[in-house]
Structure 1
Amino acid sequence: MMEHGFDFTPVLIFLTAAVALVPLFQALGVSPILAYLAAGAIIGPHVLGLIKEVENIGHVAEFGVIFLLFTIGLELSILRLMNMRREVLGLGTVQVLVTALLIGYGAHQLGSSMEVAILIGGGLAFSSTAMVMQLLAERGESASRTGRGAFSVLLFQDLAVVPFMALLPLLASDGSDIGKAMALAGIKAILALLVIFLIGRFLLSPLYDLVARTHNRELFVATTLLIVLGTSWATGRMGLSLELGAFLAGLLLAETQYRHQVEGDIKPFKGLFLGLFFMSVGMTIDLQLVWTQIGTVLLLLLSLLSLKCTVLVLFCRLFGFPMATAVHIGLLLAQGGEFAFVLFGFAMVLGIIPTEIGQLLLVTVSLSMVLTPWLASLGAYLSRRLTPPLANQEERIQTASEDLRNHVIVGGFGRVGQTVARLLQNYNVPYIALDVDPFKVAQGQAQGYSVYYGSAAQIDVLKAAGLEWAHLLVMTLDHHPERTQYLISDLHRSYPDLEILVRGRDQIQSKQLRQAGAAAVIPEALEASLQLSSLTLKCWGIPPEAVEQALEEIRREDYAPIVALLAKRRKATDK
């Protein structure tokens, strides 16, 4: 019998555990993240012991977080990131500093040395980017104000990894000038990011142009993996986090025409390795340690969650977030993060943190991550309860849109508006939808859509939704066509640079709306008639190629303004 050098038994164990538990948890309406955590705990060294080398698995599983940060970068843009600078540099900064100081002070008062207290405070100040962003994506909340606020804090936390990693060797040695070393680490980080940004900005697009001309799918995927892992490796060598490099690579590729193909190619890798990451977290949960020191673990867990939630709620309010959103963000980010495993692990190896304290901290962080899906659900529930009644909707709309820039306003949340909103949400395009049907609004909000009660036919309501800073206005209203026409005309005069896309009933109304100032009009009666005609001709026996050619000729004539608009947008993007 042939002997093979590679033992893929661990791979089979991982796959079996995932296949067994993920469908079961989903059938029960529980997040798949908890299924991966439970699977990891069961097959890990503390229960069945099927997998014992957790550290080696963790190194591979880190690819999941790398690919996650890369896709987050893909869904952003440099302009959108600049628009978020107040929350990233403001809210993110105070959250990390205040949380680290409070936890560090508490640890020092309980008898830890100053060095240990600094590391404990820093390690526990961070939240789980992988856990939170995955939950937001699952629940369709990434583009909501809660999602944007949570992401801003998480992004700064990823940036703040640098100084804390630089602290480790300094705290392990005596007599180091920590302040000077931290300043040098910060300068090095800024220079490194600037170099990577400049190289990527000028080389990525030509590189993908060259690869795309080969029409080789495997080469395209290999190039993407090279960019992601290569940038992560470069930032790692510079003393920064691997995840930050991946995020930067995604941010640079978001400016190119290849972003959607890249996102589709990387998605399977992200899902596979992210599941492995969550399973590796589950393996670190030492149930015996939890049981023997249940009182200490529960006290640490409760203290961590309550302190971080309180700090986040307080500063979210100070930065202008409504109470409902602040509470949601506070509970969403109350857990410890994956960075704690790296920081505390290295600290134990260097002898900075005693092993028994480090193990307690790791168990506390693991359990806090396990509780995150339930905390997120609680936050969503409290957010709905704290939301003002419909009478104050215009104020709510203004509050929800005050940090939006270059966003999309969707007028109407019927079947067409819901389809538009769903696709915008799938691609994390910032938007706000308006409708005057309270049932549709309540149903949409329960499903995670950024929809609010308000009439899109009133300019004052559209202004409250950030019309002045909007990139697009999509009007899907199908009643009062004359009123819609007058509204489009007024908007075009007041906001000549705003591109307005409108749903039209037929060719006659579409022509009137274009004359009023709409950039493009989609006549639904025309498309319906084309589809019905196509089916009729094909059933009669006309060759499909001939039918499609006839339809394309009609579309080319009637959709000429739309084609011109797309060409204009493509030309602006290429510049």
Structure 2
Amino acid sequence: MLSEFPILLGAGLVLLGIFVLGFIGFKTKFPSVILYILLGVVLAGLLTHNEILHFSGEVAIVLLFFLLGLEFSTKRLGSIAKKIWSSGILDVVLSLGVSMIIAFGFGLDWFSAFLIGGITYATSSSITAKLLDDKGRMANAETEFVLAILIFEDLIAPIVVAVLIALSAGDAFTSGDLLLLIGKIIGLGLIAIILGKTVFKHFEKFLLRIDDEDFKIALLVGIAVSFGGLALLLGLSEVLGAFLAGVMLAEIGKIERVESTVTPVKDLLLPTFFIYFGTTIDIGSGIPMPLLLVTLLIWSVIAKVLVGIIGGKLYGLSKRVSLRAGLSLCARGEFSVVMASVALGTIKVFGGIYIILSAFIGMLLFSYANKITIKIYGKPVKKKKNLKVPTV
């Protein structure tokens, strides 16, 4: 008679599965995020409510948002906001706001509609950045705009998650509660900025004195997790706290020293977050709300294309380049998973299926963006060089 399946063996098999899927994704240039979610769906019966997997996934997502925050010093936040704010707000209105109204129109309550709006909002930074690199489009005219939109979404996503966490508490959410929530977010942000300008002003010099890399890992991961935990204590989301911890340390200047220490830990643990999310998706009873799913998939594409066309024009891009930018923003991924993890039951299943399908559709549209643009606007006319023949 076999004894109970050992947790250690399960953890080892999950790590080996991560290696195999990561290798497949690398060789096929297919985003491994989707493969990890699918693995979780397949292993749902074995790994559901696995505390180790859940804990490692929580730490991983905290480190992901911590590293995102490192990219945003207060100075950079201001410069980005000035340049992309109009296109970014348009993105919030179309991708989040209209999707929320569509879901409400299908009979969902306001919280579920807002949750679905959050799931449909953000473009996947990891999938889009990987495709830009793989397709050799990093130097294209639209790339700066695409990356600016991704950065704006990186700033908005933690706030949306914080609001979702507060709303999911189950109590009636009044205007006073909203003001209190905004106050907490602003307060935590101010604490991060003040600490960054004072306590952590000379943090880089302190890091240089630490020779043992293990101690650096304990210190930096500890800061990220502690700030995430502080956010939870205040009734906010851990990802917002982690993001603000990154903003706090962004003031040190050379963030590469922090990134080089934390990134390997994040890379090891992050797949477990997507696998655990996959284990929570039960598709045994079929696809919930199929008509809403199809409607949102179509609107999600339209919304991002409009963000590209209108926002790109506001950014100073041509019609051709703006369309190509919009077609490159359609894939949803890690941020949508973070939003969907707040959901329960049918909405979580719905969110998981939406994420997988929208990622596939987004990848296809990205790959064919140039061909679609040529089909609509024709081939770009090459400018003739006006060569002057020297006269004697």
TMscore range, shorter length: 0.7 to 0.9
> Is contact 2:313–2:322 with CA below 8 Å preserved after alignment?
no
| 1:298–1:188 CA distance, 2 compared to 1 (3 A) | closer
| 1:14–1:376 CA distance, 2 compared to 1 (3 A) | farther
Q: Which amino acid aligns with 1:187?
A: G
Secondary structure, in 3 states, of the residue corresponding to 1:26? helix
User: Could you say which residue in structure 1 is the equivalent of 2:246?
Assistant: 250
| 1:363–1:155 CA distance, 2 compared to 1 (3 A) | same
The correspondence for 2:193, drawn from 191, 194, 197, is 197
Q: Are residue 378 (structure 1) and residue 362 (structure 2) matched?
A: no
| 1:366–1:190 CA distance, 2 compared to 1 (3 A) | same
| 1:142–1:241 CA distance, 2 compared to 1 (3 A) | farther
How does 1:159-170 map onto structure 2 within 5 Å?
A: 159-169=159-169
User: Could you say which residue in structure 2 is the equivalent of 1:120?
Assistant: 116
Q: Are residue 62 (structure 1) and residue 58 (structure 2) matched?
A: yes
Q: Are residue 308 (structure 1) and residue 303 (structure 2) matched?
A: yes
Secondary structure, in 3 states, of the residue corresponding to 2:228? helix
Tell me, in whole angstroms, the C-alpha distance in 2 between the residues paired with 1:270 and 1:140: 26
User: Could you say which residue in structure 1 is the equivalent of 2:205?
Assistant: 209
Tell me, in whole angstroms, the C-alpha distance in 1 between the residues paired with 2:340 and 2:68: 26
> Is contact 2:123–2:329 with CA below 8 Å preserved after alignment?
yes
Tell me, in whole angstroms, the C-alpha distance in 2 between the residues paired with 1:312 and 1:11: 42
1:191: Cα distance to partner? 2.0
How does 1:410-489 map onto structure 2 within 5 Å?
A: none
Tell me, in whole angstroms, the C-alpha distance in 2 between the residues paired with 1:316 and 1:325: 11
1:85: Cα distance to partner? 0.7
| 1:191–1:379 CA distance, 2 compared to 1 (3 A) | farther
User: Could you say which residue in structure 1 is the equivalent of 2:180?
Assistant: 184
Q: Which amino acid aligns with 2:383?
A: A
User: In the TM superposition, what whole-angstrom CA distance separates every residue of 1:61-99 from its partner, at most 9, and x where no partner exists?
Assistant: 233333233333334443332211135543323322343
Q: Are residue 223 (structure 1) and residue 219 (structure 2) matched?
A: yes
1:151: Cα distance to partner? 2.0
Secondary structure, in 3 states, of the residue corresponding to 2:200? helix
Q: Are residue 277 (structure 1) and residue 273 (structure 2) matched?
A: yes
Tell me, in whole angstroms, the C-alpha distance in 1 between the residues paired with 2:29 and 2:126: 20
Secondary structure, in 3 states, of the residue corresponding to 2:368? helix
> Is contact 2:90–2:307 with CA below 8 Å preserved after alignment?
no
Q: Are residue 99 (structure 1) and residue 95 (structure 2) matched?
A: yes
1:275: Cα distance to partner? 2.3
User: In the TM superposition, what whole-angstrom CA distance separates every residue of 1:292-348 from its partner, at most 9, and x where no partner exists?
Assistant: 669547624533433432442344135224445544443444345555555555454
Tell me, in whole angstroms, the C-alpha distance in 2 between the residues paired with 1:237 and 1:133: 34
Q: Which amino acid aligns with 1:33?
A: V
User: Could you say which residue in structure 2 is the equivalent of 1:495?
Assistant: none
| 1:190–1:330 CA distance, 2 compared to 1 (3 A) | same
The correspondence for 2:104, drawn from 91, 104, 108, is 108
The correspondence for 2:255, drawn from 259, 262, 278, is 259
1:263: Cα distance to partner? 1.5
User: In the TM superposition, what whole-angstrom CA distance separates every residue of 1:173-230 from its partner, at most 9, and x where no partner exists?
Assistant: 45x53x3322332232112201111012211244453453353332222222122222
| 1:371–1:18 CA distance, 2 compared to 1 (3 A) | farther
Tell me, in whole angstroms, the C-alpha distance in 2 between the residues paired with 1:29 and 1:134: 8
Q: Which amino acid aligns with 2:346?
A: E
Q: Which amino acid aligns with 1:308?
A: A
Q: Which amino acid aligns with 2:354?
A: T
User: Could you say which residue in structure 1 is the equivalent of 2:355?
Assistant: 365
Tell me, in whole angstroms, the C-alpha distance in 1 between the residues paired with 2:273 and 2:267: 10
| 1:356–1:118 CA distance, 2 compared to 1 (3 A) | same
User: Could you say which residue in structure 2 is the equivalent of 1:12?
Assistant: 12
Q: Are residue 155 (structure 1) and residue 151 (structure 2) matched?
A: no
Secondary structure, in 3 states, of the residue corresponding to 1:319? helix
| 1:314–1:283 CA distance, 2 compared to 1 (3 A) | farther
Q: Which amino acid aligns with 1:363?
A: I
Tell me, in whole angstroms, the C-alpha distance in 2 between the residues paired with 1:234 and 1:142: 38
| 1:228–1:26 CA distance, 2 compared to 1 (3 A) | same
Secondary structure, in 3 states, of the residue corresponding to 1:391? coil
User: Could you say which residue in structure 2 is the equivalent of 1:32?
Assistant: 32
User: In the TM superposition, what whole-angstrom CA distance separates every residue of 1:131-172 from its partner, at most 9, and x where no partner exists?
Assistant: 445655766767941222322233223333333433334xx3
Q: Are residue 391 (structure 1) and residue 386 (structure 2) matched?
A: no
Tell me, in whole angstroms, the C-alpha distance in 1 between the residues paired with 2:28 and 2:341: 35
> Is contact 1:123–1:343 with CA below 8 Å preserved after alignment?
yes
> Is contact 1:345–1:358 with CA below 8 Å preserved after alignment?
yes
Q: Which amino acid aligns with 2:179?
A: A
| 1:379–1:317 CA distance, 2 compared to 1 (3 A) | same
Q: Which amino acid aligns with 2:234?
A: M
> Is contact 2:87–2:312 with CA below 8 Å preserved after alignment?
no
Percent identity (aligned): 22
Give the number of equivalent residue pairs: 376
- Higher RCO (CA 8 Å, separation ≥ 6 residues): 2
> Is contact 2:193–2:247 with CA below 8 Å preserved after alignment?
no
> Is contact 2:65–2:242 with CA below 8 Å preserved after alignment?
yes
In our comparison, the structure showing a higher alpha carbon Rg is 1
1:271: Cα distance to partner? 1.2
Tell me, in whole angstroms, the C-alpha distance in 1 between the residues paired with 2:203 and 2:232: 23
User: In the TM superposition, what whole-angstrom CA distance separates every residue of 1:30-57 from its partner, at most 9, and x where no partner exists?
Assistant: 3333443443343x22xxx442336863
* TM-score using structure 1 length: 0.56
